Amino acid sequence: MSSNSNTHLTLSERQIIEVGIVNGSTHTAIASTLGKDKSTIGREIKSRRFIKSKCALPVECAIYSKCKPGSECIGDSCRNYVPFTCKRRDRSPGACNGCQKYRSCHFNKYWYDAKKSQNGYEYTLVDSRAGVNLTSEEARVMAEILKPLLEKGQSPYQILRSHPELDVTERTLYNYIESGVFEHFGIGPLDLRRQVSRRLPRKKQNEYKKRNDYKYLQGRTYKDYLAYLSENPVASVVQMDTVYNDGSNGPFIQTFKFLRFGFLFAVFHEKKEGQDMVSGLDTLYETIGALPFQREANVILTDRGSEFTLADAFERTSSGELRTRVFYCDPMASGQKGSLENMHIELRYILPKGTDLRELGLTSQAKLNLALSHINSAPKEYFNGRSPMEMLRFIAPDIFESFMRFGLLEIEKDAVLLKPHLLK
């Protein structure tokens, strides 16, 4: 049997670990089953387990139940405090799955879930292992701190103690130095004579790559979206995206489609940064009001564009109140929000690809409102000849009035114009 001791854990192997924990197996027994080292199993469980139930007592004290009745617990500063330990939880197997005392235990209960662990692993394992998690500028700033102190004979440990802003572990810093990350700044295992100010060659700059942070996707994938709708079948959905022709100079159109009445709303932007998109959602939220927004936009589905990564800011107001749930389509799967993509086709009748949108006349929110008014006033076959504007007026008259105050208009069907010269 070939060894797989040097390969990453798979979902099926994590499921075996979970079963082993339920059965009370030791790290050694689980490792033997998987052909891994027992330290691998220990690290996996310790790093991936989570607190499923917090301690019901004021403090995890082993003698809490033996304290004199009526005494007030002052926590770990009490002279009689004895930290609670559990051989099963704190040593091997390292989690509380399958513990016979689970229901009666009042202390922190740790749980290991194979599926959640696999998801966490996949979010962590991003980009290539080649290169380092630094930009060339970050490396230069670190080198400016490190070089004079290393020349004084200080160790990485000593430097990190006095410079916590470096924000790396001692082992990581040793790895960076030993692998030549700072060699172009005069820092290496043997040679420390060159100046930190030496400019990094362009070819070498390409070796530095800041890894993308995908934590915003945790619990917000398309699979999570489908699960949420399964549990909340009456949830109202708004799909969100951006439309533009010139990625460098704009203008940029942030689009929102209310699926319940097929209505397209959009916000005009000069830039396409994350905060601009949050501001666009704020505009929608403030335009229709908090209660109508929460009623008609329980869920927002968007793609994984870099401008949409501020998930927490989308989901909460500036005061921290939850206003919606945000989910993301799978990569290269625009069809998962196909309803909005189809609406973009109509928007492109007025704003064709390859044209200069400013020269075409799209210079302000007012001009964009004009385009939206005509698009939303066009009859739709799937509404039996009614327009999204009519559906909105019938289903949500309060939102209809809010959009009218914002500057949208209901256009007579015969007057609807879906051509570029509309904006002229």
pLDDT digits (tens, 9 = 90+) for 143-167: 889 888 888 878 888 888 888 888 8
Integer Cα distance of 3 and 255 in angstroms? 52
pLDDT of residue 404: 97
The helix or strand, by DSSP H or E, that contains position 241, with its residue range, turns out to be strand 237-243
Say whether both 415 and 335 belong to one domain. Answer: yes
Strands annotated E in 96-190: 109-111
pLDDT band at 134 (very low <50, low <70, confident <90, very high): confident
CA distances from 385 to 125, 132, 416 (A): 50, 57, 14
Q: How many residues does the chain have?
A: 424
Q: Are residues 296 and 319 in the same domain?
A: yes
8-state DSSP, 360: H
337, 259 in Cβ contact below 8 A? no
Number of structural domains found in the chain = 3
Half-sphere exposure of 413 (CA within 13 A, CB side): 8
**Domain range holding 198?**
136-205
Whether residues 269 and 310 share a domain: the answer is yes
> Which residues in 259-398 belong to E strands, given as ranges?
263-269, 299-302, 325-328
Q: Which residues contact 277 (CB under 8 A, 6 or more apart)?
A: 242, 254, 269, 307, 308, 310, 314
In a domain, 210, yes or no: no
Query: 406 with 293, same domain?
Result: yes
DSSP-assigned letters across all residues of 371-386: HHHHHHHS--GGGTT-
Angstrom distance (rounded) from CA 399 to CA 377: 15
The answer on 177 and 111 residing in a single domain is no
Q: Is residue 412 part of a domain?
A: yes
Q: Sorting pLDDT into bands at 50, 70 and 90, what band is 352?
A: very high
Kindly state the tokens that stand for 312.
């927490």
Name the average pLDDT for the chain. 86
Q: Read off the CATH number of the domain in which 287 is found.
A: 3.30.420.10
In a domain? residue 4: no
pLDDT at res. 212 = 67
- Is the preceding omega at residue 251 within 30 degrees of 0, hence cis? yes
Res. 307 pLDDT band, cuts 50 70 90: very high
Asked if the structure places residue 271 within a domain, the reply is yes
- Please provide residue 61's backbone torsions phi and psi, each rounded to the nearest 5 degrees: -110, 130
Long-range contacts, stretch 16-22, CB < 8 angstroms, 24+ apart: 17/41, 17/44, 17/45, 17/112, 17/114, 18/97, 18/112, 18/113, 18/114, 20/93, 21/45, 21/93, 21/94, 21/95, 21/97, 21/98, 21/112, 22/97, 22/98
Most trustworthy range by pLDDT among 125-134, 173-182, 197-206, 225-234: 225-234
The proportion of the chain whose per-residue pLDDT surpasses 70, expressed as a percent, equals 88
DSSP assignment letter at 134: S
Predicted confidence at residue 70, as pLDDT, reads 46
CA dist., res. 303 & res. 282, Å (int): 18
Q: How confident is the model at residue 96 (pLDDT cuts 50, 70, 90)?
A: very high
Of 124, 148, 173, which residue is a domain's last?
Answer: 124
For residue 226, pLDDT over 90 is answered with yes
The token pair at 398 is 């309060």
Query: How much is the average pLDDT of 124-128?
Result: 42
- Top pLDDT among 67 and 233 is at 233
Q: What is the pTM of this model?
A: 0.55
Opening angle at CA 210, ends 209 and 216, nearest 5: 145
- For residue 6, tell me if it sits in a domain: no
Are 356 and 399 in a shared domain? yes
Q: Residue 140: which pLDDT band, with cuts at 50, 70 and 90?
A: confident
Please give the residue that has the higher pLDDT: either 318 or 289: 289
419 burial (CB, 10 Å; 0-12 / 13-18 / 19+) is: exposed
Question: How do residues 23-61 score in pLDDT, each as one tens digit?
Answer: 999 999 999 999 999 999 999 999 899 888 888 777 888
Last residue of a domain, one of 77, 92, 124: 124
Instruction: Report helix, strand or coil for 263.
Output: strand
The per-residue pLDDT for 393 is: 95
Q: What are phi and psi of 264, to 5 degrees?
A: -105, 125
182 class by beta-carbon count within 10 Å (0-12 exposed, 13-18 middle, 19+ buried): buried
- CB-side neighbour CA atoms (13 Å) of 382: 9
**249, 376: one domain:** yes
Is the residue at 234 inside a domain?
Answer: yes
State the average pLDDT over residues 340-356. 93
378: number of Cβ within 10 Å: 16
Q: Where is the domain boundary, 162, 184, 205?
A: 205
H or E stretch at 394: helix 388-395
Is 1 part of any domain? Answer: no
Stronger pLDDT, 186 or 111, i.e. the higher one: 111
pLDDT of residue 369: 97
Query: What are 309-333's pLDDT values in tens digits?
Result: 999 999 999 888 999 999 999 988 8
Measured CA to CA, the distance from residue 388 to residue 380 in angstroms comes to: 8
Q: What does the pLDDT average to over 367-371?
A: 97
Instruction: Mark whether 196 and 223 lie in a shared domain.
Output: no
**Tokens linked to 66:** 């033996």
- Domain identity same for 107 and 230: no
Question: Which ranges of 163-221 does DSSP label H, i.e. alpha helix?
Answer: 170-178, 202-205
Using alpha carbons, list the distances in angstroms from residue 398 to 292, 378, 386, 387, 407. Answer: 8, 21, 19, 17, 15
Query: What is residue 151's predicted lDDT score, i.e. its pLDDT?
Result: 80
Statement to judge: residues 55 and 186 lie in one domain: no
Q: Which token pair is 345?
A: 């086709």
**413 and 308 share a domain?**
yes
- pLDDT tens by residue, 257-266: 999 999 999 9
Residue 206, pLDDT score: 63
Question: Within a domain: residue 5?
Answer: no
Residue 192 has a pLDDT of: 37
**Each residue of 12-28: pLDDT tens digit?**
999 999 999 999 999 99
Radius of gyration of the chain (CA): 29
Check whether residue 32 and residue 119 sit in a common domain. yes
